[in-house]
């Protein structure tokens, strides 16, 4: 008798584990009888046969219409990626017209939304300062690697994110291309500002007469370059330049260079005919190191600005003779 009840108990537990769902919790005694009822149910083999047949048909790839109660994979409207070129163009035009509106309103009121009388009486203006990564993105660094040289340049934020550090290694070794005989320069140049519809927006420094910088260097001489934007075709190798001498050491120095001192050059050569800088058409400003002294260098910049020095009355520091430039004296 004990053996019979043990056999039924084991058999009922085995069938119960196959018939009951995981969330079914029954007393062991009732589980035995419920398991026997499931195993003796006449509908169970039919249901299993239908499910297996449907799976077999699906696996064999028969072209059978799916039942109505079977879910078909579809992409929900939220997951669909809509590509609308007309909408993208409209959004782009809206953003550019908004920029154009801001430019017009600022010209009516004043740069930066300030009153015009404040702008006209302003004596100093900070054009570039370095307080974050977005300030570095306004500058581009290059070296003689463009022509096959070996100089290296880097630009990063200084200590406590209060300055920009331009550093690297200068190498005057000429590239082995069989064409270039000289090398050794590193340059840091500001990007040309852009407005609505990617239009150039040159800086207007016509109300100032002096370039004002706060820097700290290693004692090397630098060349400060100004490129102007005109309505005519402007060659990239034409610029106005002047020298900047760093003292070296741990102390900051303030550099003031009058715009009247900048001379016109082309491909690094000073032109015979000199003309003053058009201060209302300034495209970019940069620094170049090419002193032919190989080795490491650094230049740390706090800010770059302009100001109006009332004691400086010189309009232009260079002369032009009628023999050299007769068209200037007509």
**pLDDT for residue 329:** 59
Domain at 123-312, CATH homologous superfamily: Galactose-binding lectin (2.60.120.430)
User: What local confidence, expressed as pLDDT, does residue 253 receive?
Assistant: 95
Cα–Cα distance between 86 and 23 in angstroms, integer? Answer: 54
3-state secondary structure 89-144: HHHHHHHHHHHHHHHHHHHHHCHHHCCHHHHHCCCEEEEEECCCHHHHCCEEEEEH
**DSSP per-residue string spanning 258-301:** EGGG-EEEETTEE-SS-----TT-EEEEEEEE--S--EEEEEEE
Q: What is the pLDDT of residue 233?
A: 52
Helices and strands in the chain: count of H runs, count of E runs: 6, 13
Q: Which helix (H) or strand (E) holds 48?
A: helix 44-60
pLDDT at 120: 56
Report CA 176 to chain centroid distance, whole Å.
Answer: 34
Helices 28-39 & 2-19 angle (0-180, nearest 10): 70
pLDDT of 15 = 42
Confidence (pLDDT) at 106 = 63
**pLDDT of amino acid 80:** 52
Give the tokens for residue 6: 């043990």
The answer for residues whose C-beta is within 8 angstroms of residue 238's C-beta and 6 or more apart is 227, 264, 265, 266
Per-residue model confidence (pLDDT) at position 25: 42
Name the DSSP class of 231.
Answer: S
pLDDT for 87 equals 79
Low-confidence ranges of the chain (pLDDT < 70): 1-82, 103-122, 230-236, 324-330
Find all residues with CB under 8 Å of 118, minimum gap 6, and list them.
110
């Amino acid at each position: 008798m004990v053996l019979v009840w043990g056999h039924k108990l084991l058999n009922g537990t085995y069938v119960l584990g196959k018939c009951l769902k995981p969330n079914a919790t029954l007393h062991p005694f009732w589980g035995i009888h419920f398991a026997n009822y499931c195993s003796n149910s006449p509908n169970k083999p039919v249901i299993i046969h239908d499910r297996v047949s449907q799976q077999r048909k699906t696996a064999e790839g028969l072209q059978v219409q799916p039942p109505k109660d079977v879910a078909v994979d579809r992409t929900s409207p939220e997951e669909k990626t809509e590509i609308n070129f007309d909408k993208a163009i409209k959004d782009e035009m809206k953003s550019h017209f908004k920029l154009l509106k801001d430019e017009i309103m600022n010209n009516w009121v004043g740069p930066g939304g300030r009153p015009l009388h404040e702008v006209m009486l302003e004596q100093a203006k900070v054009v570039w300062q370095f307080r974050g990564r977005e300030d570095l993105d306004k500058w581009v660094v290059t070296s003689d690697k463009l022509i096959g040289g070996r100089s290296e340049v880097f630009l990063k934020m200084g200590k406590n994110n209060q300055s920009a550090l331009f550093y690297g290694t200068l190498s005057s070794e000429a590239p082995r291309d069989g064409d270039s005989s000289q090398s050794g320069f590193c340059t840091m140049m500001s990007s040309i500002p852009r407005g609505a519809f990617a239009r150039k927006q040159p800086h207007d420094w016509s109300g100032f007469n002096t370039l004002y910088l706060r820097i700290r260097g290693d004692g090397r001489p630098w060349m400060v370059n100004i490129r102007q934007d005109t309505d005519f075709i402007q060659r990239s190798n034409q610029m106005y330049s002047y020298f900047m001498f760093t003292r070296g050491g741990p102390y900051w120095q303030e550099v003031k260079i009058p715009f009247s001192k900048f001379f016109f050059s082309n491909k690094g050569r000073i032109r015979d005919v000199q003309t003053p800088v058009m201060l209302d058409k300034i495209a970019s400003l940069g620094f170049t190191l090419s002193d032919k002294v190989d080795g490491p260098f650094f230049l740390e910049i706090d800010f770059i600005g302009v100001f109006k020095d009332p004691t400086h009355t010189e309009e232009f520091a260079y002369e032009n003779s009628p023999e050299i430039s007769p068209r200037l004296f007509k």
